[in-house]
């Protein structure tokens, strides 16, 4: 028997409302996700077959978590309910209905690199100048239109005209390859469901009850899919919060949630107003901030968790000190309240910001994980660049050499590399000796030999640069990054300019790390920097399976989650709102949507249960120069009286007796750190 006493009356109404469409449009932490979980359980308890239940979440992780909670509530019966993402559902559809779209059973899903290559080839075949019309832009346009289930208009000319011409050719090419792309996973099912009466009828009877979490972030094609699936029974329950719509840049339509009743006739609406997550101070901060957005559905949230601790704002002299302060304060907090590492989250706006924070928590031996992403030093581009640095600093590092000898591709294939390695073994000489003198390796073609020579010259050149005394490590690293032409490698394989910009940001962050290393140690050499990295290595892999870890993630990645203690870092203009640097990826020409940035900050604030700490830096190293930074405009939209002291950013304190002890511990920790180094 499920105990519905764990729900308030409004939540119960939403759970028991299983006839016809219903929308729960409510603020953060009001129990929307909980409603979906209980609703699935209730339906099963009412005798609905679990196989007729579909719940759609935003990420696989969210879907899995929901599955676990439902299993807790109703037991193994729940396993046959479908809990998935839109894309996974689309894939499931195509696996069954492949024939209806002309695919054969074992179709493949094209990755973005293949997709771009196909489009480039088609453009060349059709006689377009790919320098004039960047294939990536065309790829982006084709994807954009597909996700809106529209076709580019040939009459519009320019890029749209090219896309209109290439789009059907690309479709044909995919079909010839028995392949689909990511957008097809939604677009094709919609197309079939809307056109094919028999299939449409069959599928609209398959899921008698459909639930959607984070409804504010659905796009047009997802809405159409949903409508097609719900056509027969119209039992749809959507939950969401227009104030948390943060994927507009990816085509999500916040209008979907505000116009729910137009899409699902006869829809009821249920408001949830009690927030069960956060103290009132945190809630007030969020409420006041979001009031600055217009065109929103006005909601008021209250909490009976008391006023709670004051918010804190700390402004550090620079990014390094900001990160160190956060790490030290966090361990102090953990001791003060005797809580777990997993009660803490550090949130930032851009992926590249994680580097400073990861360095800082690692220095204090704080176990952490990166949620929804990869640890900075595990990111592929970072490892590639570090491999260059290692190979330059230490020619004996064969692993590094072999990682980069043909990256980017220089025509030195695996077989050639094997020949070099075998020869080195036979002769008992280090691998790099043969790189310096490829003539000594039998069986290499002249082409390969000259590529190896060029590769060696590149390394030698930078080896000399880095070892010149007083050289500017960060600048040389930047130059090297340009020389390797990572940007070209990324853009060839990735159609998403935002992601390319992110990866470039990560590379820049390595140079910034070298800059700040140099500031700390004016005589430090490249090898000293690399040694420090290995002295603070990534914690063992198996820690990812461990539960008790501090979570680091972007604001986007934090959606739906909650933590007792939240640190939101980089609360500065430039990060919040996030401004793309001019000339850095084509994202630069996208205007910033300040309202969406504000919603993102709103999402961040509302993750916090007990203590919210905001931090920023007065200056940061960017592109080898120190740049002054200003606090984020959003900071000033939060009433000052909610903060400890004021908002001036002086070192805030943890309240309580534990403070002194905290000071002592932090000091001891620093001593410990010094003695370990
Ligand atoms: P978000 O907008 O951030 O996704 P949400 O509206 O989905 O938030 P939930 O995550 O479902 O909110 O709930 C927030 C917290 O409040 C969770 O810890 C949940 O267990 C708790 N909660 C929700 N409803 C109740 C209730 N009636 N009684 C006690 N705790 C509740
Ligand atoms: Mg939720």
The pLDDT assigned to 539 comes to: 44
Measure the CA–CA gap between 381 and 126, rounded to whole angstroms: 34
- The answer to whether the CB of 44 falls within 8 A of the CB of 74 is yes
Whether residues 457 and 568 share a domain: the answer is: no
Range of the domain at 128: 111-176
Measure the CA–CA gap between 597 and 605, rounded to whole angstroms: 13
Which string of DSSP letters, residue by residue, matches 586-653? GGGGSPP-HHHHHHHHHHHHTTEEEEEEEEEEEEEEETTEEEE--B-GGGGGS-GGGBSS-SS-----
The pLDDT assigned to 670 comes to: 47
Cβ 607 under 6 angstroms from ligand 1: no
11, 32, 173, 397: which one is catalytic? 32
User: Rounded to the nearest 10 degrees, what angle do helices 594-605 and 280-290 cross at?
Assistant: 170
Q: What is the average pLDDT across 538-557?
A: 73
Is residue 26 included in any domain, yes or no?
yes
| Cα 68 to ligand 2 centroid, rounded to whole Å | 15
Measure the CA–CA gap between 557 and 114, rounded to whole angstroms: 27
Whether residues 362 and 485 share a domain: the answer is: no
**Band (536; pLDDT cuts 50, 70, 90):** low
- Preceding omega of 292 cis (within 30 degrees of 0): no
| Cα 214 to ligand 2 centroid, rounded to whole Å | 7
Whether residues 388 and 497 share a domain: the answer is: yes
CATH number at residue 408: 1.10.486.10
| Cα 68 to ligand 1 centroid, rounded to whole Å | 16
Beta bridge partners of 550: 368
| Phi, psi (degrees; rounded to nearest 5) at 315 | -110, 115
Whether residues 592 and 503 share a domain: the answer is: no
Is residue 298 included in any domain, yes or no?
no
Whether residues 44 and 166 share a domain: the answer is: no
Domain count across the chain:
4
The last residue of a domain, from among 273, 299, 333 = 273
**Band (580; pLDDT cuts 50, 70, 90):** low
Q: What is the average pLDDT across 339-364?
A: 94
607, 618, 620, 629: which one is catalytic? 607
Q: How many residues does this entry show for the chain?
A: 677
Whether residues 213 and 247 share a domain: the answer is: yes
Whether residues 417 and 470 share a domain: the answer is: yes
Mind listing the pLDDT tens digit for each residue in 223-261?
999 999 999 999 999 999 999 999 887 778 888 999 999
Is residue 145 included in any domain, yes or no?
yes
607 as an active site residue: the answer is yes
The pLDDT assigned to 269 comes to: 96
Is residue 525 included in any domain, yes or no?
yes
Is residue 293 included in any domain, yes or no?
no
CB atoms within 10 A of CB 587: 17
- The answer to whether the CB of 220 falls within 8 A of the CB of 5 is no
Query: What percent of the chain has pLDDT above 70?
Result: 92
Q: What is the average pLDDT across 345-353?
A: 95
Whether residues 127 and 217 share a domain: the answer is: no
CATH number at residue 170: 1.10.10.160
Would you give the end-to-end CA distance of the chain in angstroms? Answer: 58
Measure the CA–CA gap between 216 and 208, rounded to whole angstroms: 22
Most confident range (mean pLDDT) of 293-302, 332-341, 416-425 is: 332-341
Indicate the top mutation candidate among 10, 24, 33, 238 to test ligand 1's pocket, ranked by most ligand atoms within 8 A of CB.
33
Closest alpha carbon to 15 in 211, 293, 242, 284: 211
The pLDDT assigned to 544 comes to: 46
Whether residues 652 and 524 share a domain: the answer is: no
Residue 585 pLDDT greater than 50, yes or no? no
Q: Is the dihedral of CA 635, 641, 644, 649 positive or negative?
A: positive
Indicate the top mutation candidate among 272, 277, 278, 345 to test ligand 1's pocket, ranked by most ligand atoms within 8 A of CB.
277
184, 214, 329, 596: which one is catalytic? 214
**Band (502; pLDDT cuts 50, 70, 90):** confident
Whether residues 440 and 481 share a domain: the answer is: yes
Is residue 286 included in any domain, yes or no?
no
CB atoms within 10 A of CB 375: 18
Which string of DSSP letters, residue by residue, matches 155-169? GG-HHHHHHHHHHHH
33, 216, 350, 465: which one is catalytic? 33
Q: What is the average pLDDT across 618-642?
A: 92
Q: What is the average pLDDT across 176-196?
A: 91
**Band (590; pLDDT cuts 50, 70, 90):** low
The last residue of a domain, from among 176, 205, 227 = 176
Cβ 631 under 6 angstroms from ligand 1: no
The last residue of a domain, from among 119, 147, 176 = 176
Ligand nearest to the CA of residue 35, numbered in listed order: 1
- The answer to whether the CB of 153 falls within 8 A of the CB of 167 is no
Residue 36 pLDDT greater than 90, yes or no? yes
Whether residues 431 and 522 share a domain: the answer is: yes
| Phi, psi (degrees; rounded to nearest 5) at 168 | -65, -35
Q: Which is more confident, 148 or 90? A: 90
CATH number at residue 642: 3.40.50.300
Q: Report the atom number in ligand 1 closest to the C-alpha of 214.
A: 4
Q: Evaluate if pTM is beyond 0.85.
A: no
Is residue 88 included in any domain, yes or no?
yes
Whether residues 526 and 553 share a domain: the answer is: no
112 as an active site residue: the answer is no
Is residue 279 included in any domain, yes or no?
no
Mind listing the pLDDT tens digit for each residue in 444-501?
999 999 999 999 999 999 999 999 888 899 999 999 999 999 999 888 877 778 788 8
């Amino acid at each position: 028997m499920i105990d519905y006493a764990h729900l308030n009356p409004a939540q119960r109404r939403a759970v028991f409302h299983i006839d016809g469409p219903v929308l729960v449009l409510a603020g953060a932490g009001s129990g929307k996700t909980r409603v979906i979980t209980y609703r699935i359980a209730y339906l099963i308890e009412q005798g609905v077959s679990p196989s007729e239940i579909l719940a759609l979440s935003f990420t696989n992780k969210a879907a899995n978590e929901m599955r676990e909670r439902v299993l807790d509530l109703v037991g193994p019966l729940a396993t046959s309910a479908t809990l998935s993402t839109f894309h996974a559902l689309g894939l499931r559809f195509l696996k069954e209905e492949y024939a209806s779209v002309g695919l054969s059973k074992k179709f493949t899903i094209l990755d973005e690199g293949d997709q771009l290559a196909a489009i480039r080839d088609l453009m060349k075949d059709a006689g377009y100048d790919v320098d004039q019309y960047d294939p990536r832009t065309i790829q982006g346009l084709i994807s954009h239109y597909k996700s809106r289930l529209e076709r580019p208009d040939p009459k519009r000319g320019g890029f749209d005209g090219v896309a209109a011409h290439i789009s059907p050719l690309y479709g044909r090419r995919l079909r010839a390859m028995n392949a689909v792309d990511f957008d097809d996973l939604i677009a094709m099912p919609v197309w079939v469901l809307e056109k094919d009466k028999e299939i449409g009828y069959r599928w609209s009877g398959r899921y008698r009850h459909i639930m959607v979490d984070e409804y504010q972030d659905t796009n047009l094609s997802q809405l159409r899919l949903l409508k097609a699936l719900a056509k027969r029974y119209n039992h749809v329950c959507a939950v969401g919060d227009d104030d948390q719509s943060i994927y507009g840049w990816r085509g999500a339509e916040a209008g979907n949630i505000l116009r729910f009743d137009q899409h699902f006739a006869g829809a009821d609406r249920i408001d949830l107003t009690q927030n069960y997550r956060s103290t009132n101070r945190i809630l007030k901060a969020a409420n006041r901030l979001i009031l600055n957005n217009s065109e929103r559905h006005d909601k008021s949230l209250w909490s009976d968790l008391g006023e709670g601790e004051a918010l804190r704002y700390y402004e550090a002299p620079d990014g390094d000190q900001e990160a160190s302060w956060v790490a030290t304060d966090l361990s102090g907090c953990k001791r003060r309240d005797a809580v777990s590492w997993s009660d803490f989250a550090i949130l930032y706006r851009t992926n590249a910001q994680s580097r400073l924070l990861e360095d800082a928590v690692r220095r204090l031996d704080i176990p952490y994980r990166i949620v929804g992403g990869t640890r900075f030093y595990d990111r592929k581009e970072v490892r590639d660049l570090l491999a260059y640095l290692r190979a330059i600093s230490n020619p004996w590092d064969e692993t590094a050499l072999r990682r980069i000898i043909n990256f980017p591709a220089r025509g030195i294939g695996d077989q050639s590399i094997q020949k070099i390695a075998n020869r080195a073994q036979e002769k008992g000489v280090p691998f790099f000796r043969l790189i310096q003198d490829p003539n000594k390796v039998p069986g290499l073609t002249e082409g390969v030999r000259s590529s190896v020579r060029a590769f060696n010259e590149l390394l030698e050149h930078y080896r000399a640069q880095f070892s010149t005394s007083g050289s500017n490590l960060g600048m040389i690293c930047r130059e090297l990054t340009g020389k390797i032409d990572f940007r070209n490698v990324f853009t060839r394989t990735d159609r998403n300019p935002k992601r390319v910009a992110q990866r470039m940001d990560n590379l820049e962050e390595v140079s910034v790390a070298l800059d700040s290393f140099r500031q700390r140690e004016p005589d430090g050499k490249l090898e000293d920097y690399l040694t420090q990295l290995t002295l603070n290595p990534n914690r063992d892999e198996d820690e990812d399976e461990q539960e008790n870890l501090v979570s680091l993630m972007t604001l986007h990645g934090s959606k739906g989650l909650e933590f007792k203690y939240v640190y939101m870092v980089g609360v500065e203009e430039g990060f919040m709102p996030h401004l793309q640097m001019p000339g850095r990826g084509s994202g630069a020409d996208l205007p910033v949507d300040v309202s969406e940035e504000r919603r993102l900050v709103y999402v961040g604030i509302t993750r916090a249960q007990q203590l919210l700490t905001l931090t920023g830096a007065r200056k940061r190293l960017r592109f080898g120069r120190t740049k002054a930074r200003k606090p984020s405009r959003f900071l000033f939209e939060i009433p000052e009286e909610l903060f400890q002291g004021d908002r001036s950013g002086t070192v805030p304190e943890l309240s309580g007796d534990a403070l002194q002890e905290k000071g002592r511990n932090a000091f001891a920790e620093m001593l410990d750190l010094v003695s370990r180094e």
